[in-house]
Each structure stands twice: as structure tokens, then as C-alpha cells.
């Protein structure tokens, strides 16, 4: 069962009323397909593809999904760099198979979150020099990032629950993967879903870009709900990236490292 995407205006606050929308009607600036889960590719975007960098800590399923969306023509972008917080994870193998440069930056090798974050950003920039990433995407990245002023609005995360409404029970430090889905089930919610939001200096607190809702079904377990939510994530993240780039053309001003 496909979920329902909702968007927000203008990139702040909770999502708007649910409806069969994934970025609006044809003609919207992000070119998103109409209807939840629609698989019609968006029209090609003008100019060079957006330069993306991906941060991960595990299996790389979200990275695989983004690479597939790019290959299918659903996302006018290329992944230029991957950084993992953990060595020897499958996500690094996914990057290698796609020919994407990757690096490992471990938290324990740095004295604090600020130094760690600076090392992550430096590794990304080094991989795509002399350009710099237009957008940094968290894809199951389990370390705290400190976001400097020059990167505000340039980092997105996808969270496997509805924000901000589930923030009190299924978001924040320590909530990821099946922990999130178990918390949603324990709360008695009738719906869950996924949310793409701008990363700020809190945990899961940044402005919402786009979300997709899915039902919580009788007999659901964290695993079954998680599978339904991940299917929504696969539709949602490419659509949210398109929307964010379309509504923030200033994000494309770092090509020469300016």
C-alpha cells in the first residue's frame, strides 16, 4: 500500500494536511510526479547535475536507493563522495561498486563533536575538490554533526517517523531503525511514515521538507512497520531532494569552492 506524501510551505513547521501529493501538481518547480508513489520520472532539470555527498553508518540501503533514482533519471544529480562513521560496513562496498570515492571518519579519533564534524566536511570536500557538495545527505548516519553557518540549509536527513508529531516518542538521540518503529507502535499511533528535514544543531529538529505517511496495521511488528516505512523512504528522499534544490537555487553556488 502506497503512502501519502505531504509537503510544507515554506520549509518550516509541521507538514500540511495529508493528501495524494508528492510535491504538487505538474508544473511545480521541483518537477515531482503527481500522486503518492508515482513512478513517472520528473522532467530533466536544466544545468549540470547537483553534486551530492552522502553520510552513512551501515548497510547503505538509502545510498543504493539514491543511486538507483539517479540512474533511472528521477533525480538530476550525481553522488560525488561518501563518508562512513564506521569502517568495513556494506555502505562502503555500495559506494565502491558505483565508483564513488569514500572515506571513513571515526568519532573516537576526534576530541569533540565540532572537531569530528569538521573532519567529515573536510573529507567530503577533498573527494570532490575543487568543487564542493551542493547538498549533504544523511543516510543512516548515527553521529552528531555540528552544522556551521555556511552549511545551514545544505544538509538533509531522512527520519523513519512523522516529524514533528512523533518527536516526543520516536525521535531524538538514540532513536534510529527498529527503535523508532517500536516506539511508534508502543505509542498507539494509527499512522507512521518518513520525514525529510533540514539538519540543524539539534536532533531531528530542523524544518520539514517533505514527508510520506503510511498506516500502522493490526498485528504490526517493528520489522513489518519498518519495511512499510522504508518503502516510503525510497520514494520520499529523491522527491524531497528535488524539491529542496528547486526551492533553494542558492545551494548551487559552491561549484568552484566559493
Which residues are part of the catalytic machinery? 159
For residue 42, the tally of other CB atoms under 10 A from its CB is: 22
Measure Cα distances from 99 to 57, 79, 127, 179 in Å. 18, 10, 12, 32
DSSP letter at 256 equals T
Residue 9 DSSP class: T
C-alpha cell of residue 237: 528522499
Among residues 245, 156, 249, 142, which one has the least CA distance to residue 196? 156
Element (H, E) at 128: helix 113-128
Measured between its terminal Cα atoms, the distance across the chain in Å is 45
Q: Which three cell numbers stand for residue 138?
A: 544523511
DSSP 8-class letter at 102? E
Q: Residues 125, 29, 249, CA angle at the centre, nearest 5°?
A: 30
* Distance in angstroms (rounded) separating the CA atoms of residues 23 and 29: 9
Nearest to 153 by CA among 134, 139, 172, 176: 134
For residue 106, the tally of other CB atoms under 10 A from its CB is: 13
DSSP state, residue 45: P
Amino acid at each position: 500500500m502506497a503512502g501519502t506524501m505531504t509537503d510544507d510551505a515554506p520549509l518550516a513547521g509541521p507538514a500540511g494536511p495529508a493528501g495524494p501529493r508528492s510535491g504538487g501538481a505538474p508544473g511545480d518547480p521541483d518537477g515531482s510526479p503527481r500522486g503518492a508513489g508515482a513512478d513517472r520520472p520528473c522532467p530533466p532539470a536544466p544545468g549540470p547535475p547537483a553534486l551530492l555527498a552522502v553520510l552513512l553508518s551501515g548497510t547503505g540501503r538509502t545510498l543504493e536507493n539514491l543511486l538507483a533514482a539517479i540512474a533511472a533519471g528521477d533525480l538530476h544529480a550525481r553522488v560525488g563522495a561518501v563518508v562512513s562513521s564506521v569502517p568495513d560496513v556494506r555502505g562502503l562496498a555500495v559506494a565502491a561498486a558505483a565508483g564513488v570515492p569514500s572515506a571513513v571518519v571515526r568519532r573516537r579519533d576526534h576530541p569533540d563533536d565540532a572537531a569530528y564534524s569538521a573532519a567529515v566536511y573536510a573529507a567530503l570536500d577533498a573527494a570532490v575538490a575543487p568543487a564542493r557538495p551542493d547538498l549533504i545527505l544523511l543516510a543512516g548516519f548515527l553521529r552528531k554533526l555540528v552544522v556551521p553557518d555556511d552549511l545551514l540549509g545544505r544538509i538533509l536527513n531522512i527520519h523513519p517517523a512523522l516529524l514533528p508529531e512523533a518527536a516526543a516518542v520516536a525521535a531524538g538521540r538514540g532513536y534510529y531503525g527498529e527503535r523508532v518503529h517500536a516506539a511508534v507502535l508502543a505509542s498507539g499511533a494509527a499512522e507512521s511514515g518518513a520525514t525529510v528535514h533540514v539538519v540543524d544543531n539539534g536532533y531531528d529538529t530542523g524544518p520539514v521538507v517533505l514527508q510520506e505517511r503510511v498506516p500502522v496495521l493490526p498485528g504490526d511488528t517493528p520489522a513489518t512497520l519498518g519495511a512499510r516505512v522504508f518503502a516510503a523512504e525510497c520514494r520520499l528522499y529523491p522527491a524531497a531532494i528535488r524539491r529542496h534544490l528547486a526551492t533553494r537555487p542558492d545551494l548551487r553556488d559552491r561549484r568552484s569552492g566559493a
